[in-house]
Amino acid sequence: MENKVALVMGAGDNLGSAISKCFANEGYTVVAARRNGEKLSILKDEIEAKGGIFYGYSIDARKEDNVIQFIKDIETNIGAIEVAIYNIGGNIKFGITETTSQKYYKTWEMAAFGAFLTGREVAKHMIKRKSGTIIFTGATASLRGGDGYSAFSGAKHAKRSLAQSMARELGPQGIHVAHVIIDGAIDTPWIKELFNDFYNEKKALDGLMNPNDIANNYLWLHKQPRNAWTHEIDLRPWIEKW
């Protein structure tokens, strides 16, 4: 098969969908997955309306057997995965004494363990071809812990370390591994609904991150020549404090 496939794990309504559409516009067959695949119908319609090819799936990225079979099915029935993006978050905020072991463990599973499973399985195929790109979505919590974010920051730190280790191991084999730190609020209906005053203030100043503009950086990373690969970039609005 000659299809060039872009896999987006965690194709939510905002950044994940923007990444999917960005790669579809470049001629990639998009395979998008989220826990509830039925919610991908709008994204499917948007991509196919422009002549793109789209496959949507429901998957729990924490389940090893499911991920193994999922990646195998894509490679066998759809095409070679040229770029894989792991965009599953797991952002929660609880004080340390209110953070149950279940919350902590689930956050780690979503942000770090699922990233490991997806990265490992995709790498098995990319190594054979000596090419490919694997991109992990990070956050402010990837760099520093915050008040109430013990679970989230721990998981994001783990994902960042995973990306660094994979880059050092897989880079010499022709596979570009990158980590994108999203250090700022993304312009989403969720932010607008929950933090309306904050949203309106930042929106007026062009201080919210546009999902489409973020997505363009993922495409740019994938297109980089191998003599000048970027491993990590951090993106933030111009008014965001470091």
Please provide the average confidence, as pLDDT, over all residues in the chain. 95
Determine which helix (DSSP H) or strand (DSSP E) holds 66, and give its type and residue range. helix 64-77
Determine which helix (DSSP H) or strand (DSSP E) holds 213, and give its type and residue range. helix 211-223
Spatial distance between the Cα atoms of 61 and 66, rounded to a whole number of angstroms: 8
Does the structure show a pLDDT above 50 at 1? no
Q: Token pair for residue 220?
A: 């740019």
User: How high is the pLDDT of residue 221?
Assistant: 98
Q: Which of 181, 179, 176, 180 is nearest to 229 (CA)?
A: 176
Spatial distance between the Cα atoms of 133 and 82, rounded to a whole number of angstroms: 6
Q: Which domains does the chain have, with CATH numbers?
A: 4-235 (3.40.50.720)
The reported pTM is 0.95
Q: pLDDT for 166-197, tens place per residue?
A: 999 999 999 999 999 999 999 988 888 878 89
Which class for 241: exposed (0-12), middle (13-18), buried (19 or more C-beta within 10 A)?
A: exposed
